[in-house]
Structure 1
Amino acid sequence: MFIKLLLLIIFFAIMICIGIYCRKHATDVNGFVLGGRSVGPWLTAFAYGTSYFSAVIFIGYAGQFGWKYGIASTWIGIGNAFIGSLLAWVVLGRRTRIMTQHLDSATMPEFFGSRFDSKALKIGASIIIFIFLIPYTASLYNGLSRLFGMAFNVDYTICIIIMAVLTGIYVIAGGYMATAINDFIQGIIMLFGIVAVIAAVLASKGGFMEALSSLAQVEDPSASTIPGAFNSFLGPDPLNLLSVVILTSLGTWGLPQMVQKFYAIESEKSIHKGTIISTLFALIVAGGCYFLGGFGRLFSDQVNVETEGFDAIIPAMLSGLPDVLIGLVVLLVLSASMSTLSSLVIASSSTLTLDFLKDNFIKNMTEKTQVFIIRALIILFIAISVIIAIIQYRSNITFIAQLMGISWGALAGSFLAPLLYGLYWKKTTKAACWCSYIWGTGLMILNMVAGEIFPSILQSSINAGAFAMIGSMIIVPVVSLITPKLDGRLVSDCFACYERKVEVTAKISLGDEEDESR
């Protein structure tokens, strides 16, 4: 217990000291929300990765989908690395950074408002973000509580209050820069932690080959009648596995707290480095989490899924590890959760301040006032999410994965297509954006309150979220072709940033030298 507590105290002390140190970067809105757009590739890549993977992934998704699909759940982590990280950086990174700076946008709603010349679009996006980031935040606490309960036997309420208060301190003090530096440290912990945990868990089952052989012997007629389904290439249910890959991989393209990382990176050169770093990070952390979860059924004698739920699987797998490794796991999941929480509260509070309150309810808001309100809303947002997390836990409403599925489905279903088409296609219209907003939020709300009216495959919030994203990619271009176009000068000005002429030093080729000698 002493070792675990010592590791926690050192971890918390470092986080708070970094927050205090970074106060000088958080004196204005640009510094507090974007770190002055001067964050390097390593910090940005780790901030992207640690915001991506949290207790929701490690405790919720890895446990649930590892149990359902066996070793094939590793495909989810691979999809996260190559679709959610590599392709996201390649397709969105450069264009997002250039156009958002050109339009002077600090948030996703502000980008929509400037790109489509619509104040209403900006306000609508800010409301959607504030509402649907809350259930995602609540799910972070839930996952962490399971692990703390196993490691320290700490009351759930105390656990989430400590996490919320400490995260709030360094985010309020240092803003985005403090978050980015802490994310880097937390990311290193996650990298070492996941490798050590996988090695220890597999060793407890006789090593990799022995564990794989044991997994092949597991039978569950309710999941699959195929022998060895849980150690097969595509698992017992490839179609639903594909839905999870789509939601957790493509979904990041439309999440404000993820896309905002591209706003803050310092240069185009940094984007190239960040792409490689972020992809490798995701491959190790996400791939490792789902790979570990794939062996969950080997611990069925230690956990009763029907009574305890899927969220109890990973803690059961870790309960037999040495104290030092349990302490490392606690730091791993705490790092993942705090980094994601910090990104969520900054995205939500800055959006509500800059896109909803500013100019609409509070006129002529000074920079100092804006930063003060953002900090106040961070406190409010954390408090609301803590209350919801406690209510959700005590009422036993749903699993972590469903909470995250609702949030990701609504946000990505609303914003993914308008963002992507808005960055690449000049003919994207205002009406198409509204249709995407209505489609994404409407579908997920309906799934949440009346899921039984959907076909069986879409009753799951995971599948519904994937369907929301794919549907929006079709809706936006179709609606754009039949609705009034934006003013040509506005669109030309938005895309002018990609066509800016620059002077470069050209090397004289051998052919040129020969021509001169003649």
Structure 2
Amino acid sequence: MDINIQTLIAIIVYLVGMQIVGYVAARLTSDLSDYVLGGRRLTPGVAALSAGSSDMSGWLMLGLPGAMYLTGMNSIWLAIGLATGAFMNWQFVAKPFRVYTEVAKDSITVPDFFENRFHDHTKVLRVLSAIIILIFFTFYTSSSLVGGAVLLENSFGMNYRLALWVGAAVILSYTLFGGFLAASWTDFIQGILMFLALIIIPIVAIQELGGWNETVQAIGNMDTSYLDVYSGVTVISVVSLLAWGLGYFGQPHIVVRFMGIRSTKDIPKARMIGMGWMIISLFGAIFVGFAGIAYFADAPLANSETVFIMFSQVLFNPWVAGFLLAAILSAIMSTVDSQLLVSSSALAQDFYKAIFRKEASQKEEMIVGRISVIGIAFIAVLLGYDRDSKVLELVSYAWAGFGAAFGPLILLALFWKRMTRNGAVAGILVGAVTVIVWSSLEGGIFDLYELAPGFVFSFLSIIIVSLIGKEPPQSVQEEYDQYKEKMKQA
């Protein structure tokens, strides 16, 4: 039997399993709250791993190892920034967000929360945030589909553009009907698979090279700069990599897991599970790329982001390789399904019902949401048609967009009573525009990752505009006090 056939069979077994999970979840999805939030009944383990795996996406298996393979240990600053940001998000946002979204008319989407938090009857906040979600999630989804296409192309010789469509079809098949529960349950399984793969591959690769000391020595003999975390970096580049951590506060597909967790009492356990998973996975990805420098020294890879794929093919038998490659699919699928779900809820609830059909039933909204999933996936595939698309570059743009537009808004909405609706609008606009403009400029200070200035400018604009205007209405302040009181009891 040909190696590709064996590997393909292993991947098909995995994909069939995901379809079964999606089918079971669909049977438990009866209304819009179930479809977009799972009825707020996620257990700590499912919430933690689904948040982690939907966060990491294909860049954990492709982009981060690829960056490490290209430049060496100076890429570790990115992992440090992400781990710090994720911990801060779990520590300071998870519990308040879970409580406040319930107090604020039981909000089930991020735009829903923004509108309810500020009692915005004009729908401006809801529509504006929905537009931001649709713009940046389309790029984010495209990045993940590009990762899937690279995997299928390198593993099976599939045409790149055909691979884009195949990947989108697979993810749509279970996200379309199972909704949030399907996304969360499959993310949990996919998170475990990613975790195991990122432990197994670097251990086996380093053993093949003779051990850790031999690996480090081999890389040092090639170029000592690979071993230096400060090699080739500047203050701007280090700040840029660390700034990735700021993005966590504003990622809709991550914070929605906080909304869906069963109880605030489950959050400490979920935080411990999630952070343990993340730190080990990040180090696994780093060591995959690091070992690749030495292993592929005699035949350098044409595409640095294929280092994980190449290791799975050269180090393991075809059956094991199939499940290791399925881990990449897991990383991709776990992110895309979450992104499509948040995007569809934005279109169904925040556009369709809010603007066009206020009397729409929940069943009608679910149908619109599912149609939206197909439409967004279609646009994302077209954006990924460029064969030279880089996963990490596409992810970095979308990550910055959400982090700058929503991060300061969520933080201040949870911790500052004086914040106003106009301040929230200013924060979204300034954050998003700064990212778009800054990313188009080059040289000097503009080499700084656009998330950093976008976050700072958004934060300042919220404070300034809120202080210039009138205080929030009494009803908003009273609801904020209710939220604070409930926080003490939680």
Q: TM-score, normalised by structure 1?
A: 0.87
8 Å contact 2:60–2:331 — kept in the other structure? no
Equivalent position SS for 1:334: helix
1:117-266 paired onto structure 2 within 5 Å: 117-118=119-120, 119-219=123-223, 228-237=224-233, 239=235, 240-247=237-244, 249-266=245-262
Answering whether residue 424 of structure 2 is matched by residue 427 of structure 1, we say no
Query: In structure 1, which of residues 42, 45, 49 is the aligned counterpart of residue 48 of structure 2?
Result: 45
Instruction: Name the SS for the 2:425 alignment partner.
Output: helix
Partner Cα separation in structure 1 for residue 74 and residue 255 of structure 2: 28
Structure 1 pair 194–272 and aligned structure 2 pair: CA distance change class (3 A): same
Q: Does structure 2 retain, via aligned residues, the 8 Å contact 1:41–1:271?
A: yes
Runs of 4+ in 1 over 6 A off after TM superposition: 501-504
CA-CA distance at 1:4 after TM superposition: 1.1
* TM-aligned CA distance change 1:242 to 1:315, over 3 Å: farther
For 1:437, the equivalent position in structure 2 comes to 428
Counterparts in 2 of 1:386 and 1:254: CA distance versus 1, 3 Å: same
Equivalence for 2:402: 411
Equivalent in the alignment of 1:484? 470
1:352-391 paired onto structure 2 within 5 Å: 352-390=347-385
Preserved CA contact (<8 Å) 1:33 1:176: yes
What is the deviation of 1:75?
4.2
Q: Is 1:18 aligned to residue 4 of structure 2?
A: no
Taking the aligned partners of 2:411 and 2:24, their CA distance within structure 1 comes to: 36
d(CA) in 2 for partners of 1:81, 1:287: 10
Q: CA deviation at 1:357?
A: 1.4
Distance 1:82 1:464 in 2: 19
What residue number does 1:458 align with?
446
1:320 match: secondary structure: helix
Maintained 8 Å contact 1:115/1:491: no
Name structure 2 gaps, 5 residues minimum: none
Which residue of structure 2 aligns with residue 223 of structure 1? none
Check conservation: 2:77, 2:241, Cα contact below 8 A: no
CA–CA distance in structure 2, aligned partners of residues 43 and 503 of structure 1 = 24
| Partner amino acid, structure 2, of 1:77 | A
Task: Give me the whole-angstrom Cα distance separating, in 2, the residues matched to 1:466 and 1:487.
Answer: 32
CA distance in 2, matches of 1:429, 1:501: 21
**Structure 2 counterpart of 1:55, from 42, 58, 62:** 58
Q: TM-score, normalised by structure 2?
A: 0.92
8 Å Cα contact 1:309-1:399 kept in structure 2: no
Q: Does 1:272 align with 2:231?
A: no
Work out whether 1:345 is the aligned partner of 2:335.
no
Distance 2:234 2:447 in 1: 17
CA contact (8 A) 1:46 1:183 kept: yes
Q: Secondary structure at the match of 1:485?
A: coil
Alignment of 1:389-404 (within 5 A): 389-390=384-385, 392-393=386-387, 396=388, 398-404=389-395
CA gap 1:260/1:502 in 2 versus in 1, 3 angstroms: closer
CA deviations 1:420-466 (Å, max 9, x no partner) are: 00011101122322222222221222244x424xx434246xx1123
Query: Partners in 1 of 2:210 and 2:58 — Cα distance?
Result: 27
Alpha-carbon RMSD: 2.2
Q: Deviations over 1:330-361 (max 9, x none)?
A: 11110010010000000111012111211311
The one-letter code of the counterpart of 2:446 is: L
The counterpart of 1:473, out of the listed 447, 459, 473, is: 459
Q: Is the 8 A contact 1:303 1:312 kept in 2?
A: no
Q: Secondary structure at the match of 1:495?
A: helix
The corresponding residue for 2:289 is 293
CA 1:116–1:408 in structure 2 vs 1: closer, same or farther (change >3 Å)? same
* Percent of matched pairs sharing the same residue: 26
- Residue 216 of structure 1 deviates from its aligned partner by 2.1
